[in-house]
Amino acid sequence: MSTTHRILKLSRTVHLYLGVFMVPALLFFAITGGLQTFSLHETTRGSSYTPPAWLATLALLHKKQTTVAPPRRARPPEAATPSGVSAAVAGSALPSDSAALPSSGPSDRDSGPRKKNLLPMKIFFALVSISLCLSTLTGLYMAYRYSRRPLLVSGILLAGVVVPSLLLLF
């Protein structure tokens, strides 16, 4: 057997077993990332939606690698002007420099940044998530179908679930 053939055979074997070990993690990140694309894991201001606890926990594990939510920091107090009036009140009560100048555009309301439509990008990333799941599952199918050691493949797949679960305890 030539050296090139041995290297190719070794790289295929390493690819097979590393891929099977990573299947649970890839599926986890693909699914939780897809759910986070649509902000299903968090509440938004002015909304009555509260995410299920399991979804918030999985999103936290995806983003922070822990299931324990860090305590929220208190909001800093509003900056005060020298006269003791808050900056928000002072800004609304006093005319700003831009209000005193004549408008150079068609309207002051049009000069602000335009809100982008995020839905097409969200749909794209949802398709990426689905594609990653399908690709991972077909790779797992091929690992079982073309492997001569299905018990070893099953053991490595189980290790891919158990090892990260045990690492959560530390």
CB atoms within 10 A of CB 136: 19
Residue 106 domain-assigned?
no
Sign of the C-alpha dihedral computed for residues 133, 139, 145 and 147 taken in this order: negative
**Residues 80, 87 contacting (CB under 8 angstroms):** yes
Per residue in 60-80, pLDDT (tens digit) is: 888 888 888 777 777 677 655
pLDDT of 94 reads: 46
Q: Is the pLDDT of residue 169 over 50?
A: yes
Residue 96 domain-assigned?
no
Least confident of 32-36, 64-68, 106-110: 106-110
Residue 25 domain-assigned?
yes
Out of 16-20, 104-108, 165-169, give the one with best mean pLDDT: 16-20
Residue 1 domain-assigned?
yes
- Residue-number span of the structural domain to which 134 is assigned: 1-43+50-66+118-170
CB atoms within 10 A of CB 10: 10
pLDDT of 93 reads: 46
Domains held by the chain: number: 1
**Nearest of 30, 26, 32 to residue 61 by alpha carbon:** 32
99 vs 30, higher pLDDT: 30
Residue 168 domain-assigned?
yes
Q: Is the pLDDT of residue 99 over 90?
A: no
Residue 155 domain-assigned?
yes
pLDDT band at 144 (very low <50, low <70, confident <90, very high): very high
Q: For residues 122 and 139, give the distance between their C-alpha atoms in angstroms, rounded to a whole number.
A: 26
Residue 161 domain-assigned?
yes
Residue 14 domain-assigned?
yes
